A and B are shown apart, each in its own frame.
Chain A
Amino acid sequence: MAVAVKTKETSEVQTEQLMTGCEAIAEAIRLADVDVMAAFPIRPYDTVMQAAAKLIANGKLDCEYIVADGEHSQFEIVKHACAVGSRVFVGSSGVGWFYAFEAIAVTAGLRLPVVAICGNRALDDPGAFGTEHNDSLAVRDLGWLLPWAETAQECLDLALMAWRVGEDARVSLPVAIGLDGGFLTHSQQLVSVPTRAATDAFLPKFDLGDRLLHPDNPITIAPQVDQDWLMEIRRQNDAAMRRAIDVITEAHADFKKLFGRGGDSPFLDEYMTDDADVVFFGQGTLALPMKVAIRRLRAEGHKVGLVRLKWFRPFPTDEVVKSLSRFKAVGVVDRDYSFGSPHYGGVLYNEVRSALYSREQRPTIVGFVAGLGGREIDQSMAREIYEKTAAAATGGLSAGDQCHWIGVRE
């Protein structure tokens, strides 16, 4: 439950309140005037559904709130509500996300801008509640836009961005915001909450145009196309994903103008990188312990910084290449695994390597798998990551020693 220890008017367009990442998403749901949402319990994402239910119970949100019989139904319900013109919200975590997988796949195929959160959680078996990014990452090839939040503030901001970008006719793709389970879904932080009027200035009304399923527009959606047309349709999804880069950039600029937040780049958040030789690269709440480590390492004279990825899909290749080419070595920290992948690295590691492959001037890249199952990445682990990356920068690591598991009891 949100404990509003203080509510202060910070400006005409927003107020400040203490809330968790999930509660911040619920505030965004209220501000976006969501029409239909579907809930099903699984930790840790489900506190967003609890917070939204309370908003409805208190008359602050007018929304069809359907408690579904499972995650597959949850995602099907909002998909179909979206097809008749509703702004929708849904979410899940871990194996629940996988239970919905068929519906998740077709939502992207249908180009329906469903907005979801994935409260990132380790997949069973064996059971674990904590953060791992493999649930969200499993949909990386399907046409979902995948931003990752670091703070409760960013949860709210990214949610508003999600409806704006996803519903934009140039994109019309679903969006799933990654929230690290526990660390972000359940941790309270101060959040600036926009006013409804300011939100309306940022977020236009949802309009499906001539794709609306309605008796006045009797279209047939998703007939059997077979080999005759599927490739052209896939190509359209590809084009929409490519256009998303510009649409995100536009939305980010508008957001910054209205609310004064969001940083310089819509895609990357850089911390102490100006003179850095070595940087950490990762996404989500990983940034917090790494920033602490960076301050301590810098106090000892090490030139180290952090580049945090805000959008995994579309992968901002140009921005990533431009940024990382400036450094001698990059330590990519994956809160995920990809068993049997090239060099046995994490997903992010191989994405970054792929992005940089064609560049003549490219940094040494070292991969780290850390913090699985929600294990805390502590300062000794951060230091180990730094030392290995710095050693690679000076040729101290062999080519066959590129990927490391950090903090594992052997």
Chain B
Amino acid sequence: MKMAVETATGTGTLPQIKGVKEVPYDELFVSGHRTCQGCESALVMRHMVKAAGPRTIVLGSTGCMYVANTTYYSTPWVVPWMHTQLGASGSAALGTAAGLKVLMRKGKLKDEKINVIAFCGDGGGADMGIGAISAALTHKEYDLLVLLYDNESYANTDIQLSSQTPWGAVTTFSPTGSERRIMHTRWKKNVPGMLAAGHPESRYIAAGCAAYAVDLMNKIRKALEVGGPTFVHTLDPCPKGWDYHPQYSQELGHLAVEAGIWPLYEVLDGVVNLTGPTRQIAEGRKKRKPVEEYLRRQGRFAHFTKEDVEHFQAEVDKMWEEWLIPGVIPFTIPQKDVTLLNIDKKKPLHATA
């Protein structure tokens, strides 16, 4: 067998990265793919394996990061990689982790830490594969990470809406027309919050964005280091699906977070920790930007009227002003019960973090 590339991160331990200068030099996701210019999901792939290191197996479910990413004879993957079906990221991770575990226990494979990461898009993860991901997150005996790269549509098949497409956005299944301005009237599913709330034995669930690269890599590393079944969800601006010039991908990632639409956070052993600008917003050190700044930069919202923007803003405001944990857990508590539950919403949420 050939030896995989040697790197500084090949020891099996994944310390937190303190700054951009500490990011590993080695690239484990290289040229050979044909993703679009400005593809933020491809950047997520690159950061993901960079953070994980070479002793990693990656399972990729159908979607952009399969079809555009992995062409026969020109694979960009330096680490071992295998395709899995659209709704199968959870099962792929589970089967791979279970196989490695038993083979090492029986002495059929050298006993070592091998990271198992299965990725899926928003269609494969939040729609079709949510059941299998949920099942995987209940198996605390296996070490695995499911990464959901969310470009907010079935972008590989022609930009059709998914349960992660924002309210009102134009997709090929929700065009704007002379009779109906808004075809897509469902609000985005809160996937990381739902998974964190519903899977008590998953030790680590996080929401990140490649526009905050070090933050994202540290989340990947923390997920792999704490062990058991873990989940990371990234929001990935998509020039093709969101209809903007490819040079603005990073900027739109920043705007989504700064407008409070995509809060960055992690839940480690049930403790919520807001990260990056999201934390600054929650602590009152930074003002949330109006969602209009984010919406008006994208062609998919070009048909929005003033009322549509106001509706969008009102829904995002609700996440911050009414939710039990802003941007994470969507329940509200009657004022009379706030003391009862010992929650003072005026204080920072993460005093102990």
A contacts, CB < 8 Å to B = 33, 35-36, 38, 62-64, 66, 68-70, 72-73, 76-86, 88, 102-103, 106, 205, 210, 212-226, 228-229
Report Cα–Cα, A344/B75, bound state, in Å.
48
Type the 1/0 row for B119-143, where 1 means its CB is closer than 8 Å to any CB of A: 0000000000001101100010000
Known contacts A76-B85, A76-B91, A215-B114: A81-B3 contact under CB 8 Å: no
Give the top 10 A-B pairs by smallest Cβ distance, nearest first. A80-B95, A81-B99, A76-B91, A77-B95, A222-B83, A69-B135, A220-B75, A86-B99, A221-B82, A84-B99
Type the 1/0 row for B209-250, where 1 means its CB is closer than 8 Å to any CB of A: 000000000000000000000000000000000000000000
Report Cα–Cα, A64/B106, bound state, in Å.
11
B85 CB contacts on chain A under 8 angstroms: 72, 76, 102-103, 106
Tell me the minimal C-beta distance from B305 to chain A in angstroms: 41
A73 touches B88 (CB 8 A): yes
B80 touches A77 (CB 8 A): no
Report Cα–Cα, A81/B103, bound state, in Å.
10
Type the 1/0 row for B81-102, where 1 means its CB is closer than 8 Å to any CB of A: 1111101101111111011111
How big is chain B's contact interface, by range? 35 or more
Known: A66-B139, A81-B102. 11 other contacts (CB 8 A): A33-B106, A35-B106, A36-B99, A76-B92, A80-B94, A85-B109, A214-B1, A214-B109, A216-B1, A221-B83, A223-B73
In the complex, which residue of chain A has the Cβ closest to the Cβ of B94? Answer: A77
Report Cα–Cα, A212/B85, bound state, in Å.
19
Listed residue (B77, B88, B106) with the most chain A CB atoms within 10 angstroms of its CB:
B88
Report Cα–Cα, A63/B96, bound state, in Å.
14
**At the interface, is chain A mostly helix, strand, loop or mixed?**
mixed
B95 touches A213 (CB 8 A): no
B contacts, CB < 8 Å to A = 1-4, 54-57, 59, 66-67, 70-73, 75, 77-85, 87-88, 90-96, 98-103, 105-106, 108-109, 114, 131-132, 134-135, 139
Known contacts A80-B95, A84-B57, A84-B96: A68-B135 contact under CB 8 Å: yes
26 A–B contacts from the bound complex (CB under 8 Å): A36-B95, A36-B98, A66-B98, A68-B135, A69-B135, A70-B132, A73-B91, A73-B131, A73-B132, A76-B84, A81-B98, A81-B99, A81-B102, A84-B96, A86-B98, A103-B85, A103-B88, A210-B1, A212-B1, A213-B80, A214-B109, A220-B77, A220-B82, A221-B81, A223-B71, A228-B72
A62 touches B106 (CB 8 A): yes
In the complex, which residue of chain A has the Cβ closest to the Cβ of B92? Answer: A80
A223 touches B57 (CB 8 A): no
A215 touches B103 (CB 8 A): no
Identify which of A84, A106, A216, A224 contacts B66 (C-beta below 8 A): A224
Report Cα–Cα, A270/B182, bound state, in Å.
69
Report Cα–Cα, A88/B94, bound state, in Å.
14
A68 CB contacts on chain B under 8 angstroms: 91, 135
Report Cα–Cα, A300/B57, bound state, in Å.
67
Report Cα–Cα, A120/B37, bound state, in Å.
51
B91 touches A215 (CB 8 A): no
A64 CB contacts on chain B under 8 angstroms: 98-99, 101-102
In the complex, which residue of chain B has the Cβ closest to the Cβ of A102? Answer: B85
B131 CB contacts on chain A under 8 angstroms: 69-70, 73
A220 touches B135 (CB 8 A): no
Report Cα–Cα, A210/B88, bound state, in Å.
25
B96 touches A220 (CB 8 A): no
Identify which of A73, A205, A214 contacts B57 (C-beta below 8 A): A214
Identify which of A103, A220, A228 contacts B81 (C-beta below 8 A): A220
B92 CB contacts on chain A under 8 angstroms: 76, 80
In the complex, which residue of chain B has the Cβ closest to the Cβ of A73? Answer: B91
Report Cα–Cα, A224/B85, bound state, in Å.
13
In the complex, which residue of chain B has the Cβ closest to the Cβ of A76? Answer: B91
Tell me the minimal C-beta distance from B138 to chain A in angstroms: 9
Report Cα–Cα, A68/B134, bound state, in Å.
11
Report Cα–Cα, A223/B69, bound state, in Å.
9
B2 touches A84 (CB 8 A): no
B81 CB contacts on chain A under 8 angstroms: 218-221
Tell me the minimal C-beta distance from B256 to chain A in angstroms: 30
B72 touches A229 (CB 8 A): yes
A80 touches B84 (CB 8 A): yes
B88 touches A76 (CB 8 A): yes
A218 touches B99 (CB 8 A): no
Known contacts A35-B106, A76-B92: A218-B79 contact under CB 8 Å: yes
